[in-house]
Amino acid sequence: MGTDTNPFNSLQEQIDEAAVYLDVGDDVIERLKHPERVLETNLTIERDDGELERFKAFRSQFNGDRGPYKGGIRYHPGVTRDEVKALSGWMVYKCATVGIPYGGGKGGIVIDPDEYSETELERLTRAFATELRPLIGEDRDIPAPDVNTGQREMNWIKDTYETLENTTAPGVITGKAIDSGGSEGRVEATGRSTVIAAREAFDYLGEDVSDATVAVQGYGNAGWIAAKLVAEMGATVVAASDSSGGVYAEDGLDPVAVKGHKRETGSVVGFEGANEEITNEDVLTLDVDLLIPAALENAIDEELAHDVKADVISEAANGPITPDGDAVLAEKDVYVVPDILANAGGVTVSYFEWVQNRQRFHWSEERVNDELETIIVDAFDALTDTYEENDLASFRTAAYVVAIQRVADAYEQAGSFP
């Protein structure tokens, strides 16, 4: 990634930028810029060869004014305390942007999971779940998948929690497999909202996403589904990348075939349907209509932003553009649909999963997708209304204006205690 910008500073700058347009006191804004609490813990597990190894892990509970803390768990060597704090804050404002009754949280373990066996990862995940047990719960804090975690880890966490609590509580975690209480449409939800939001942005600009050329950075859960769904809308996906590099085809890649190649070989690189291999940076600076960053934070910094040629960016990843990069893109009239709206499909369908778990009732995929569509379109409309009313510089600031107001209202309506 291009920069070492601290994502927690980015979050705080984004809040400050929106606060100017809000009638919310500085003291309340100050409160909304810091997590309520952060757990930092060390997990020690036995490797398959009998050696012990220690791993640092975090869970940040940023704000619970609008409901239980909610947010994923990331396994990555680059996880830091500040990254987890930032990601937990973005969850607060994401849930508020789309109007679902949650606060924000996030967790992470500093690990490269590729270096560990499945049994080692299971021991580590269960150790983390045991450590988290007093903090989490269906009405307290509800984790979910993030980078390098998925249904498998969620199922382990659910089982550990339920065993220790001697109960059934599927709503303690979302992103589970269907037979373990998961929701239809959850795996696709992040990519789906990213392209619904992109479609709305093109429509707002008087254009049609079906005519767009698209580049996708990051070909994991969020990125590959976004590529598949935007191609189904008629757009042409010309480039895709992952941590090993990128591929380009002027006439379009078949996103499903690219995924098949990645499944077999571990990377998009070497895909036989591509004309050219390109770098990660090339993918971000291609002359396309729509760019979908779907990897990690800080992919587009100030320097790289000068070279971005896309007209619209829909952020599948959390925090892929630094505040300095944002300023350059705004000057260049590049429309950025911010992460806290674009990728909110993941947490929205997690919310549907939790509702189904509490109802002990399973929704059809059609119902899930219809309700998701309504929530994202309504949130996009609220964002553009605020953008126009306040003559704002970016969609991001508009989203924060909407979201911070909602969180501040919930805080103030609660009154003071004790």
Q: By CB under 6 A, which span of 6-14, 27-35, 214-222, 407-415 interacts with ligand NAD?
A: 214-222
Pairwise CA distance, residues 198 & 202, whole Å? 6
Catalytic residue among 85, 106, 176, 262: 106
- Binding to ligand NAD (CB under 6 A) within 313-342 occurs at 316-318
Alpha carbons 116 and 195: distance in angstroms, whole number: 34
Q: Which stretch binds ligand NAD (CB under 6 A): 130-138, 143-151, 153-161, 206-214?
A: 143-151
> What sign results for the dihedral spanned by CA atoms 112, 117, 120, 125?
positive
Give, in order, the Cα–Cα distances in Å from 195 to each of 51, 76, 220, 315, 340.
Answer: 46, 26, 15, 10, 14
- Which of 370, 343, 362, 373 is closest to 178 using CA atoms? 362
Distance of closest approach, residue 147 Cβ to ligand NAD, in angstroms: 4
- Which residues are registered as beta bridge partners of 37? 61
- Report the nearest approach of ligand NAD to the CB of residue 18 (Å): 20
Binding residue for ligand NAD, selected from 280, 357, 386, 394, defined by CB under 6 A: 280
Applying CB under 6 A, does 113 fall inside the site for ligand NAD?
A: no
418 upstream amide cis, omega within 30 of 0: yes
Q: Does 190 bind ligand NAD (CB under 6 A)?
A: yes
Instruction: Answer whether 233's CB lies under 8 Å from 210's CB.
Output: yes
DSSP, res 137: B
CA atoms within 13 A on the CB side of 409: 9
Output 318 or 394, the one with its CB closest to ligand NAD. 318
User: In the complex, which residue's CB is closest to ligand NAD?
Assistant: 220
How many C-beta atoms surround the C-beta of residue 120 within 10 A?
A: 18
In the annotation, is 106 catalytic? yes
Nearer to ligand NAD, 329 or 341 (CB): 341
Give the nearest distance from C-beta 400 to ligand NAD in angstroms: 17
Which span (60-68, 294-302, 393-401, 405-413) binds ligand NAD, by CB under 6 A?
294-302
Catalytic residues: 106
State the residues that interact with ligand NAD by CB under 6 A.
1, 145-148, 190, 217-223, 241-243, 280, 294-296, 316-318, 343, 346
